[in-house]
Chains A and B, each alone.
Chain A
Amino acid sequence: MSELEAVIGLEIHTQLKTRTKMFCGCELSFGEPPNTHTCPVCLGLPGALPVANARAIHFALMIGFALGCEIAPQSTFHRKNYFYPDLPKGYQISQYDEPICRGGELAGVRLHRVHLEEDAAKLIHVGESGRIHGSERSVVDFNRGGTPLVEIVTEPELRSPAHAREWLTLLRATLRSLGVSDVNMEEGSLRADANVSLRPAGSSVLGTKTELKNMNSFRFIERGIAAEIERQRQIIESGGAVEQETLHFDPSSGRLSSLRSKEEAEDYRYFPEPDLIPVATTTEMVSAARADIGELPLDRAQRFEADLALNADSARNLAFRGELGDYFERVLESTGVEHAVAVSNWIGQLVARIEDADPADTNVTPQAFGALVVLVGSRAVSGAAAREVLDVLVAEGGDPQAIIDARGLGSLSREDGDLAAIVAGVIAADPSASERVRAGNEKAIGALVGAVMRETRGRADGAEVTRLIHEQLGT
């Protein structure tokens, strides 16, 4: 059997950050008490009618432009009919065969379509498990119901779980840079489903696909897709056939469970929403959307590389996580762009400590962070000591110089008699290494430098220590 390759497509839902809901005047809700952001329209009361949110249409057009889509001169809303308690009208207003945007491409991955729709309400299952099975009863919070959503569907052109994750990161940064969504996966303002199938490498025929639903972090998406590829590989390699079904990935167990099979797939009976008129995209709407688009992540990465001399990886790491890019640029405001490479490197240190958090939400102000990088650059603090300062900044905040002073983390310098004394002591304590250095063995100096560093708890500058050793040994 030939090698199998994975074919992955993504379907992304992003909640738009409009003031009001998609089809009524209720303000969007952010954790308010249940059912306080509701009205006859979003509760689906008899006689209530939807009116499309112009701002949501504007945002969808911005997304369309940013992704290089073809903007439809006219798009229509359709009703997607199915019964569920989180769907008060018994249908979701969505778009079907006339979406607002078609086609497009982002970082080599082509897009199928972009369309507008409304979010469902939130079901809360009361009882032990928190899931529908085993719950005593379920209640509905309609605050979320009717929140504007944009659905972005890719062509099946992603090739690996890592590729899917990386591309999704870029998409998220792109949406974030547009300011159209909070794009927070944990809070559900960005949600992704993945279609996965396998085929013999090089084949152009698509295999049977499965759909992975609602994975709520980048890590789970990568893991979920990887688990599904492995599951399908085992089925195919043991001579079986993959069944078309919808799957749920449980990140705690790493297992996939079936939500429904093809036979259980619903007939949504799409038809044009008669309560709404088609959206005619005027030239005014088009130019307004275009005018609201700022710098996109791909362009930003390019700029970081070209203007700030960052390497390609660093530039993308900052630009594709927009909040890092924003933080980076704010730090540069206080340090000056000549420190760009150092700031970029030190942001790597910061990310290792704060992981997925937005640095703007941490204790480390851009000014403090910049000051620390400048102190390192001027050798006022060693790299090792600076990492210790950064730990303190992350934990408590504060001013780097004050932390250095309070904890005695400042560099021991040439002028500092203490450092010369420590070097002298180390040379005296290791005559054999000293001898080898005198004999011209450059590598032997490492042991002496290491000993000085231990003595000084990393506060000494390595180059300075090397110079002092040579000076004292007369080499």
Chain B
Amino acid sequence: MTDLVDLTAAQAAAAIGRRELAARELFECYRDRAAADELNAFTWVAQEPPQAGDGPLGGVPLAVKDLFCTAGVPSQSGSRILEGYRPPYTATAVERLARAGAPLLAKTNQDEFAMGSSTENSGFGPTLNPWDRTRVPGGSSGGSAAAVAAGLAPWAIGTDTGGSIRQPAALCGIVGLKPTYGAVSRYGMIAFASSLDQAGPLTRDVSDAALLLMQMIGARDPRDATSLDYPGSVSLPTQTDLRGIRLGVPTELSGDGIEPGVLGAFEASLELARQLGASVERCQLPHATHALAAYYVLAPAEASSNLARFDGVRYGLRAQGATDLLDMYTRTRHDGFGAEVKRRIMLGTYALSSGYYEAYYGRAQRVRTLIARDFAATFERFDFVVTPTAPGVAFELGAKTADPYAMYLNDICTVPASLAGIPAISIPNGMAAPPGGGKSLPVGLQLIGPAFSEDRLLSVAFALEQALGFDGSAARR
């Protein structure tokens, strides 16, 4: 059985293709591992493999973040307000992957409505980091990241609004890709911040990420007005050097506030990139220092509206014993939402209020435009921008729950690409000790590219991955 778990998803798919492995055997292996999960990575695990297409993904089963709607299967977005909610339809991304041969294995735990960087905000309890169970796996796609890192699922998808795929991938020592905004349909994703949310793969290696992404993009989804026909294509990466590649290192995102261990690993990977033939130079993203502030206006503003539908009228929780309509709304939302969700609804409601709109929402939108311009200017001189994915390694459970701002700082390196709507990937970049010392933990390296540069981004990530030679097998034991 452990032999099976050592296979990457691409290797497993190939083995199934060669009839050396039965898809059912692989499914049962992972189903049993998922069912025995001790990390609280899952909110639901399939009993039997659902019908899956005979596609290029070979029948390798997929773990899916809770917030993707899956017909007849609990889809709760980590919230008690949707406890037990089983939607009547399936999200486009999940449906495309199932048709391509990746049947649903399990739903994964997440921060409530994707609001968080540690999965501690889940209404169904925190997920533990497989490298150290006293630590968080990151978030909000922490369940997906932990499941893949721990070998409880061959691969997974999550969503990224300000770093929710890349940061947990970094903290769990796996690969996480946030595609260009509009590349993957959002239809059926329970929305956090509509103008930022984007689905993407969380996988053991870059090839697996490419394989999943290929099936997620393509023709635009007629059900998502913001989705786009993907220009060009994505292929399996093969590049092993970085000759001619120009990497920019933004001063603003590679110094202040980054843990020394993370910074050390980052510098080492830059040196490795040079050895592979890349040019590595400093660059400037002057407005990136304002990205977090803009993000924490825009995302809560959209969320305050997106979460208005959870009112107890049609589905999910409805508080009992209400005296009138307003009382029913108030009690339902009081009981159903967790503290962080309430905090962001209040922030967003305030930011959109009459008299404050221009000062907050309007100004944040302008900052967003400036950040996109910073990137556009940088990509005239550089092919990709590289930063650490997260400012630190996985932190201890509870360490930041009392300090929202400290928690928000986890997104400092990932938020700029989200605001610009451009693709970014996090790959494992070795291990580093936490600031107080102790057992080393995974570190992530982030590569950011121009819109629709996923194919080249995966190629460069693949070359670096091969050279770095990260071994994540310890987390699967």
A residues apposed to B, CB below 8 Å: 40, 43-52, 79, 81, 83, 85, 88-91, 140, 267, 269-271, 274-277
Is A45 touching B313 in the complex (CB atoms < 8 A)?
Answer: no
13 interchain pairs, CB-CB under 8 A: A43-B314, A44-B314, A46-B85, A46-B190, A52-B225, A81-B308, A85-B325, A89-B309, A140-B313, A269-B354, A269-B357, A274-B193, A274-B302
| The residue from B75, B195, B224, B225 contacting A46, defined by CB atoms under 8 A apart | B75
Query: Which B85-123 residues have a C-beta within 8 angstroms of A?
Result: 85, 87-89, 91
Say whether B153 faces chain A, with CB atoms less than 8 Å apart: no
The answer to whether A46 and B302 have CB atoms under 8 Å apart is no
Q: Please, which residues of chain A bring their CB within 8 A of the CB of B305?
A: 79, 81, 90-91, 269, 271
Q: Residues on B close to A: CB < 8 A?
A: 67-69, 75, 77, 82, 85, 87-89, 91, 186-191, 193-195, 222-226, 301-302, 304-305, 307-311, 313-315, 325, 329, 349, 352-354, 357, 361
Q: Contacts A40-B87, A91-B305, A269-B353 given: A49-B314 contact, CB under 8 Å?
A: no
Minimum distance in angstroms from B104 CB to a CB of chain A? 15
A431 to chain B, nearest CB (A): 85
Residues of A within 8 A of B226 (CB): 49, 274-277
Q: Is the beta-carbon distance between B311 and A51 smaller than 8 angstroms?
A: no
Residue in A closest to B186 when the chains form the complex, CB atoms: A49
Contact B301 A47 (CB under 8 A): no
Contact residue among A40, A83, A271 (Cβ-Cβ distance under 8 Å from B361): A271
Known A44-B314, A88-B309, A275-B226: A83·B329 in contact at CB below 8 Å: yes
A232–chain B nearest beta-carbon distance, Å = 27
Chain B residues whose C-beta falls within 8 Å of the C-beta of A88 in the assembled complex? 309, 313-314
- Given A91-B308, A271-B357: A47 and B222 interface contact (C-beta under 8 Å): no
Bound form: Cα–Cα A81–B305 in Å: 7
Q: How far is the CA of A140 from the CA of B314 in the complex (A)?
A: 9
**Interchain CB contact under 8 A, B309 and A44:** yes
How long is the Cα–Cα vector from A88 to B195 in the complex, in angstroms? 21
A274 to B193, CA, bound (A): 9
Contact of B87 among A47, A90, A267 (CB under 8 A): A47
Residues of A within 8 A of B190 (CB): 46-47
Give the residues in chain B near A267, CB-CB below 8 Å: 353-354
The listed residue (A52, A83, A271, A277) touching B308 by CB distance below 8 A is A83
A47 touches B188 (CB 8 A): yes
By a CB distance below 8 angstroms, the chain B residues around A50 are 225
* Docked pose: A269 CA to B353 CA in angstroms: 5
B308 with A47: CB separation less than 8 A: no
The CA of A43 and the CA of B302, in the complex, are separated in Å by 19
- Whether A46 pairs with B325 at a CB distance below 8 angstroms is no
Is the pair A90, B309 in contact by a Cβ cutoff of 8 Å? yes
Given contacts A88-B309, A271-B361, contact A51 B87 (CB under 8 A): no
Identity of the chain B residue whose Cβ is nearest the Cβ of A43 in the assembled complex: B314
CB nearest to B349 among chain A residues: A269
* B418 vs chain A, min Cβ distance (A): 13
- A47's partner among B191, B225, B354 (CB-CB below 8 A) is B191
Which residue, B67, B89, B194, B313, has most C-beta atoms of chain A within 10 A? B313
* B224 and chain A: residue at smallest CB distance: A49
| Known A43-B314, A48-B188, A49-B226; 15 more pairs at CB < 8 Å | A40-B87, A46-B75, A46-B190, A47-B69, A47-B91, A49-B186, A49-B223, A51-B222, A79-B305, A90-B308, A91-B308, A140-B314, A270-B352, A270-B357, A274-B226
Q: List, in ascending order, chain A residues with CB within 8 A of B325's CB.
A: 85
Q: Is the CB of A90 within 8 A of B315?
A: no
Q: Which residues of B contact A91 (CB under 8 A)?
A: 305, 308
Q: Are B313 and A85 in contact (CB under 8 A)?
A: yes
Q: How far is the CA of A18 from the CA of B271 in the complex (A)?
A: 62
**A270 proximity list for chain B (CB < 8 A):** 352, 357
Give the docked Cα–Cα distance between A276 and B225 (Å): 6
Chain B residue nearest in CB terms to A132: B325
Q: How many whole Å from B264's CB to the nearest CB in chain A? A: 39
B194 touches A275 (CB 8 A): yes
B361 — which chain A residues lie within 8 A by C-beta?
271
Give A74 to B187 CA distance when docked, in angstroms: 25
